Amino acid sequence: MKHFSAFTVLLLFTVCLAQGQQKPLHPDLKIEQPAGPKPWTNLNINDKPGQFQFVVVTDRTGGHRPGIFEKGVDKVNLLQPEFVMSVGDMIEGYTTDTAEINRQWDEFCGFVGKLTMPFFYVPGNHDFTNPVMERIWKERFGPAYYSFVYKDVLFMALNSEDQTRGSGKGSISPPQLEWIRKTLDANRNVKWTFLFMHQPLWVQETDPVKWFDVEKLLADRKHTVFVGHRHHYERFERNNTQYYMLATTGGASALRGPQLGEFDHFVWVTMTEQGPILANLHLDGVFDHDVFNEQLTAFTEKIWSSNMIRVEEPLYVKGATFTQDSIRFRITNNFDVPVKVKLDHGFSWDFKADIAKPELTVPPNSVRFSSIELTARKQKEIEAMKAVKVKAGVAVQQAGKSDFFVPFEFNVAPLRRYELKKATGSIKTDGVLNDWASLPYTLPTPEGGRFGIAYDNKFIYLGVQVNDSELINDSAGTTINQDFVGFVLDGQPTTKSISEKGDDWFKNSLYFIASPEDGSGKSSVRDLGESEQQLVWKCIKNKSGYAFEIAIPIEYVQQQQGDLWQSVRVNVVVQDKDAKSSSRITWQPNWRDRDNLPGSGMFFRDAKSKM
């Protein structure tokens, strides 16, 4: 028989006590717990008895925008709160025409009748404007101020319009104040109090009558106040608590965004033991389960792969500056139904822009054109001018279905017309650049760099000098993790190459990157395809950094354009890898990025050599 010391017994007792005090699993949770580590943070399900959620909707009227509030109802139904509160201005009102008032209320009641949970009315100045509207309110909804308690929380719907004084003149009348006093006295021990009314009485210039007396009654209890009326969101710290003035759920608004408090929303309130937690949900940020499905995926992919909207011909400029010209878009509809197209453009500091046909419908299996006119705001070099972003939406018109616009974005700007000149002498691809007459093009690398391009009867040559005082290169390492230089060259006809986007890592182009030779005399290169394996090249260190030279067989271009080939599209890329930093730059915008500029980096064969 084993004997236990007093310390051992005490230790076992302590361990058992601690285990016995562990929080039991939620009664609705059934889970198999492994003996060791567990793939979850804890099992304290966030389902406390006193916790619940409700929604507050705000101003629909005061210049309502049709369809917005109704959309809000649909979004609230998706989230399934326990109930919905209002802060007033549900109808336009401001009339004594009883038929019109009832028509407006019938319409609104039809909207909230679609909610799958209770909706609590609170009067606004548009709902409770005059004695006629007051009478109709009482006939339809009964009391204009009332309260209820849910899970030990007091909800008070107040009437800031009970003296029908109008906008900016809200008030709490003496009879309503007395009712508020009695209601608060009868509910002294609730854990929280919410007040809902329409006008923000504490900030209006006109005397709000008894409102400040209401605040005194609330001073010693935990409470939160919700109002609307001014159509912009603002939070106030007042009376030792939070007051919230809500924006709109369809009311008039400049809609300049949440940063200015102007947006369509509803408030999702979670009541916890510690107090309410608020989330403002933008109507356009709440989607149902079918926001995107396999049918829409197939549809959008078909639109995108069709290259439906493209620049017909880039605007190439021979000189160094640009004044004014236009760029034409080609819109091709290969569908058997009409296609609706909307075009718009972003702002540019460098250009004024104007789209000739911002909206058009393209008949089935046909082509239409639009254009954008660019006017330079001031004279500057073309390479320094920032592109204009064109945004397009394409919707296939189908009977009985609403328009679903597939978005497109592309950039336009005047482009420098680069001349591809014939080499003046023999170029040896040895990485020594002294056989180049010049390297005329600047690379925006951290320490500078230049390159040149030329051709003869057999090859197109590219020579690059990269200035780099700290080389990281290892022929056995992965190329993209060290210093490298590379290029993309597209030999397709101009009409095709201008629209290339570098899909599938430049599948229709030559794409090549290499690091400078290391101590073993070898370079690290990206996995080479069959085309790249035929290239003759060299990448070696020099006193300024390293140089890269390559010869591309002219047959690569001739196979695609014939003997009278006209152009090649080129981009150069450099990665500067240092111990503490890394940067990757391209001479022209990367074809694979959103900044791609159709037709950029196009070199045209000089006219004399075509003869």
Note the pLDDT of residue 542: 95
Output the CA angle 303-594-485, nearest 5 degrees. Answer: 125
Token pair of 543 as six digits: 């006193």
Q: What is d(CA 65, CA 220) in angstroms, rounded to the nearest whole number?
A: 41
With bands split at pLDDT 50, 70 and 90, how would you rate the model's confidence at 23? low
Three-state secondary structure call for residue 364 = coil
With bands split at pLDDT 50, 70 and 90, how would you rate the model's confidence at 608? low
When pLDDT is averaged across residues 266-272 and rounded to a whole number, the result is 97
Angle between helices 174-186 and 211-218 (to 10 degrees): 10
Note the pLDDT of residue 399: 52
List, for residues 347-363, the tens digit of each pLDDT value: 999 999 999 989 999 99
Note the pLDDT of residue 27: 87
Three-state secondary structure call for residue 605 = strand
Q: What is d(CA 206, CA 214) in angstroms, rounded to the nearest whole number?
A: 17
Note the pLDDT of residue 28: 87
Lowest-pLDDT choice from 43-57, 104-118, 206-220: 43-57
Q: What is d(CA 449, CA 469) in angstroms, rounded to the nearest whole number?
A: 12
List, for residues 111-125, the tens digit of each pLDDT value: 999 999 999 999 999
Note the pLDDT of residue 7: 36
Residues 6+ apart with CB under 8 A from 421: 454, 455, 606
Q: What is d(CA 423, CA 441) in angstroms, rounded to the nearest whole number?
A: 16
List, for residues 498-514, the tens digit of each pLDDT value: 999 888 888 889 999 99
Q: What is d(CA 593, CA 84) in angstroms, rounded to the nearest whole number?
A: 45
- Residue 582 reports pLDDT greater than 80: yes
Note the pLDDT of residue 435: 92
Residues 6+ apart with CB under 8 A from 502: 488, 509, 590, 591, 592, 596
List, for residues 515-547, the tens digit of each pLDDT value: 999 999 999 998 777 777 789 999 999 999 999
List, for residues 490-500, the tens digit of each pLDDT value: 999 999 999 99
Going from the N-terminus, what domains does the chain have, and what CATH number goes with each? 52-285 (3.60.21.10), 294-416 (2.60.40.10), 418-610 (2.60.40.1190)
Note the pLDDT of residue 398: 61
Closest CA to 575 of 522, 539, 536: 539
Token pair of 348 as six digits: 């540019």
Residues 6+ apart with CB under 8 A from 4: 12
Residues 6+ apart with CB under 8 A from 354: 372, 373
- Residue 574 reports pLDDT greater than 50: yes
Q: What is d(CA 170, CA 172) in angstroms, rounded to the nearest whole number?
A: 7
Q: What is d(CA 125, CA 227) in angstroms, rounded to the nearest whole number?
A: 12
With bands split at pLDDT 50, 70 and 90, how would you rate the model's confidence at 77? very high
Helices assigned H by DSSP within 236-344:
294-305
| DSSP summary character for residue 291 | S
| Dihedral Cα 27, 29, 31, 37, nearest 10 deg | -90
**Top mean-pLDDT range of 169-178, 388-397, 423-432:** 169-178
